[in-house]
């Protein structure tokens, strides 16, 4: 039997993304954002409010990075989601995270997170129902410890965090369940033989 839960944001899993940008003074602004998704082969959309210090910094510099948070760095990832740069100017320093400037865009790479997308601001879309920051992915860099022998990111090594909107929990991804474009091959074969 099914039970109605009312209006809840019932998409699971959601990524735990750490968005970072330099503001006009060169200070690192960063935030935890679960509402983000790839929207083209070279684009990422972040559904973040315009009043975040990080959003303001992105508008000022036209560049940002998006890191995939991992279990090892869950505490600082959560901290940058709890604290606001609008009220805590030294939020990044207090997080214990460290940065270096990207060599591809005018934005900070957070050293601790294993995978980072380096982006140029493509557009900001604002409507009555939406505020989206869209970036063009210029480069992706990854710590060698999360790469497989073929040089690609291995999700089983990444230990990426995902966010649970039902209970506000963090979970780690690790076990591979199947292969995309292969798990349904038998069903496809049966469907096309009819």
User: What tens digit of pLDDT does each residue of 28-39 get?
Assistant: 999 999 999 999
Pairing of the two strands 28-33 and 99-101? unpaired
Residue 189 predicted with pLDDT over 90 = no
The reply to whether omega before 13 is within 30° of 0 (cis) is yes
pLDDT in tens, 99-113: 999 999 999 999 999
Nearest Cα to Cα of residue 44 among 160, 140, 137:
137
Which domains are assigned to the chain?
A: 14-193 (2.30.110.10)
pLDDT for residue 174:
80
Strands 28-33 and 17-22: what pairing?
antiparallel
Instruction: Tell me the C-alpha distance between 194 and 123, whole Å.
Output: 46
Give the chain's mean pLDDT.
95
The share of the chain scoring above pLDDT 70, in percent, equals 100
CA 49 from centre of chain? 15
Residue 73: pLDDT over 80: yes
> What is the end-to-end Cα distance of the chain in Å, rounded?
33
**pLDDT higher than 80, residue 124:** yes
Average pLDDT rounded to a whole number, residues 19-23: 97
Residue 154's pLDDT band (cuts 50, 70, 90):
very high
Per-residue pLDDT reduced to its tens digit, 50-64: 999 999 999 999 999
Determine the Cα–Cα distance for residues 143 and 111; give it in Å rounded to an integer. Answer: 9
Inter-residue contact 76 to 93 (CB < 8 Å): no
Structure-token pair, residue 2: 């099914």
Confidence of residue 190 (pLDDT cuts 50, 70, 90): confident
Query: Is the confidence at residue 194, as pLDDT, over 80?
Result: no
| CB 102 within 8 Å of CB 118 | yes
Grade residue 193 by pLDDT with cuts at 50, 70 and 90.
confident
The fraction of the chain above a pLDDT of 90, given in percent, is 86
Checking DSSP bridges between strand 63-68 and strand 28-33, what pairing results, if any? unpaired
What is the maximum alpha-carbon separation in the chain? 65
Q: Strand, coil or helix: what is 15?
A: strand
Residue indicated by tokens 């990111």 = 153
């Amino acid at each position: 039997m099914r039970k109605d839960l009312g209006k809840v944001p019932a998409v699971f899993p959601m990524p735990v993304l750490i968005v970072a940008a330099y503001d006009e003074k060169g200070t690192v602004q960063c935030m935890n954002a679960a509402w983000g998704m790839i929207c083209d082969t070279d684009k990422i959309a972040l559904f973040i409010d315009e009043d975040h210090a990080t959003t303001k910094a992105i508008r000022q510099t036209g560049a940002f990075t998006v890191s995939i948070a991992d279990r090892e760095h869950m505490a600082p990832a959560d901290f940058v989601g709890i604290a606001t740069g609008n009220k805590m100017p030294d939020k990044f320093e207090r997080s214990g995270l460290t940065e270096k400037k990207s060599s591809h865009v005018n934005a900070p790479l957070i050293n601790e997170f294993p995978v980072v997308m380096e982006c140029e601001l493509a557009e900001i879309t604002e409507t009555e129902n939406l505020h989206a920051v869209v970036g063009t992915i210029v480069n992706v860099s990854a710590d060698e410890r999360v790469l497989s022998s073929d040089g690609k990111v291995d999700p089983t090594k990444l230990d990426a965090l995902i966010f649970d909107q039902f209970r506000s929990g963090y979970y780690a991804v690790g076990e591979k369940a199947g292969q995309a474009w292969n798990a349904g091959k038998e069903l496809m074969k049966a469907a096309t033989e009819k």
